[in-house]
Every structure is written in structure tokens, then in C-alpha cells.
Structure 1
Amino acid sequence: MYNVILNLHSYWAFLVLLVLIVATFNSIIKYSSKKEYGPKDFRLALFTIIVSHIQLLIGIILYVVSPRLSLFSELGMGGVMKDSLTRLYLVEHPLINIIALVFITMGYSKHKSKLSSHAKFKTISIFYAIGLVLLLTRIPWNIWLGL
């Protein structure tokens, strides 16, 4: 079961990154060119938050069923923090990615209350870009791309 969830989490991450990159650059480009905010922009922002939250749920399930979780009791918190790979999987990756999702969620929520297209695109651009940068910093690239 662990391997199935791990593969789902890994492959779903490609979708999350793709959609988040498209939504971020869409809002940056349309903000810069002063385009009108339309239904397609709303759907893209909504789809981004949906796939991101699904990834969070898959990640939480993966975290709970992970054999690495027992390392907390075996090594203690100090031992987990001393090993960079264990720290990445048990502390940094989950924590930073949850923070990234908070930024994405805040951006989506805040943009809905804005009245002008310019303000909507600016809000999405800022918050989605912060979330994207955070996500990109905590992906275990060497292992993830070796699937």
C-alpha cells in the first residue's frame, strides 16, 4: 500500500507543478498586460487549488503510512534532525509544502474579494509564486526524478 500511495503522490506532484506554473505565469502575464479577468482565469485558479489540496491529502496519508515515521521513536527528534535526508522527508518537505499550500489558498481566497482584474491577477501572482518557490525548494529532486 505504501508504494502505491508513494507513486500516486509522486506522479500527482507533476500535475500540481504543471498547473501551478501555468496559473502563476498566466496571472503574471495578464497582470503585466492589463488583461481582463475572465471565467477561464477563475477556473485555472480553482483547478490549481483543488489539485494542490488533493496532493496535500495524499501526502498526509503517505506520511502516516510511511515506514520512515518510526524513525522519530527510534532516533528521537535530535537524530532525525541530524540526518539531512530523514529531516527532509519527515520535517522539511511536509512543513514547507503545507506552508506553500497556505500561501496558495490565501491567494485564491484573497483574489475573490478583489474588484478589479488587475488586483485579482496581482494577488494570484504574488501568492501562487511564493507557493511555487516554496514547493520547488523542498522537492527531493534527485529521488523524485529517478522514478
Structure 2
Amino acid sequence: MLYSFLLAFHSFWRWVVLVTLIASVFRTYIGKKDKLVFSRKDDQLRLLTVISAHIQLTIGVVLYAVSPIVSYFWNNFGKAVHERQIRFFGIEHITVMISAVIILTIGSSKVKKQDGDYRKHSTMFFWFGIALLLILSSIPWSFSPLTSRPNFRDFSW
């Protein structure tokens, strides 16, 4: 029951992370290109993006700990490492997503330390852009030929 709830919530929360991250990258790209002021709204979006990603990571780590797929992966490593979907959830997904959140966090910290508006926008665009690409590459999209999962899960028990 906990696993089903966490899986549905993790699936739902990815959209919060994606929306805030895409909005951050877009806003900061425009800010950089048009040499706009790094506003309070930009800073709030930066923080909201990082917080949403950290919430997602926390849910993901708990989900990882209770997942029957991950349990199978570690208990049958020699065989499971050769099974694409099992390996994806056992090691690839969590490794890339942790890396993306680390990059997002480093980028956020670097933005706060920048002096000028252009440098803030440039720094945020670079680091958040890398995190976005990593996240997009490691989501098990419904259309993925490698590892496919529903884009939306319901909370039914």
C-alpha cells in the first residue's frame, strides 16, 4: 500500500519538478538573452524548483527502499543487471536523478553567489539546463522504447 501510494505520488510530483524546472530555464534564458534584471520572482522560482526537486528526490529514495523491483535487482544482481528495465530502476534511474539534483543544488548555490544579473541568469541557465537534460533523459516516459511507464498514475489502491 505504501509502495503504490509513493509510486503514484512520485509520478505526479515529476510534473511539478518539470514545470518549475522548464519555467526556470525558460525565464533565465530570456533574462540572459535580453539582459534583464534577475528579479525577486526569478529567485523565488529558483528556490521553488530546487525545493520541488529535493521533495521528489526524497520520495524517490524512500520508494527505492521499498520497491520490489529494486529488491529483485539487488537480490539477483548477476541476472538482473542484464535485464534492461530492472537495471534501469535498480541503478540507472536513481544515479542520474541524484546527479541531476546535485547539479541543480550546486547551480542554485552558485546563482546566489553571483554579482550581476547577467551572470545570475547565465549561471542558472547553464546548471539548471544540464539538470533538465539529465532529468528528461532518465524519466521512464510512456513512449520510451527502453523503459516505459505511464505518464500519469492514479492513486487507487
TM bucket by the smaller chain? over 0.9
Number of residue-to-residue matches in the alignment: 146
1:71 Cα deviation after fit: 1.3
User: 1:120-140: CA deviations, max 9, x gaps?
Assistant: 000000000000000000111
Whether 1:33 aligns to 2:39 is no
C-alpha displacement at 1:97, in angstroms?
0.6
TM-score normalised over the length of structure 2: 0.89
Name the TM-score, length of structure 1 as normaliser: 0.95
> 1:74-113, aligned counterparts within 5 Å?
74-76=75-77, 78-113=78-113
- Match of residue 128 from structure 1: 128
One-letter amino acid of the counterpart of residue 94, structure 1: I
**Does structure 1 conserve the Cα–Cα contact (< 8 Å) formed by 2:73 and 2:87?**
no
Instruction: Give the whole-Å Cα distance in 2 for the aligned partners of 1:73 and 1:129.
Output: 32
1:83-141 CA-partner distances (Å, limit 9, x unpaired)? 10001111111000110111111110001111000000000000000000000001110
Which structure is higher in helix share? Answer: 1
Given the superposition, is the C-alpha separation of residues 36 and 73 from structure 1 closer, same or farther in structure 2, using an over 3 Å criterion?
A: closer
Over the matched positions of the two proteins, sequence identity in percent amounts to: 35
- The CA distance in 2 between the partners of 1:81 and 1:87, in whole Å, is 5
Output aligned runs, 1:56-75, within 5 Å: 56-75=57-76
Inter-partner Cα distance in structure 1 for 2:74 and 2:15: 32
Say which SS state the counterpart of residue 141 (structure 1) adopts. Answer: coil
Which amino acid in 2 is paired with 1:138?
Answer: S
3-state SS, counterpart of residue 60 of structure 1: helix
In structure 1, how many angstroms separate the alpha carbons of the residues matched to 2:80 and 2:13? 27
- 2:9 is aligned with what amino acid? L
Aligned to 1:10: 11
Mapped to 2, the partners of 1:73 and 1:116 lie a distance apart of 48
In the alignment, what sits opposite 1:43? 44
Q: Structure 1 stretches of 5 or more lacking a match?
A: none
Looking at structure 1, the residues matched to 152 and 123 of structure 2 have their Cα atoms a distance apart, in angstroms, of 35
1: distance between equivalents of 2:103 and 2:85? Answer: 25
Q: For 2:30 and 2:85, how far apart are their aligned partners in 1?
A: 37
For residues 73 and 99 of structure 1, the distance between their equivalents in structure 2, rounded to whole angstroms, comes to 21
Structure 2 unaligned runs (5+)? 143-148
Runs of 4+ with >4 A deviation: none
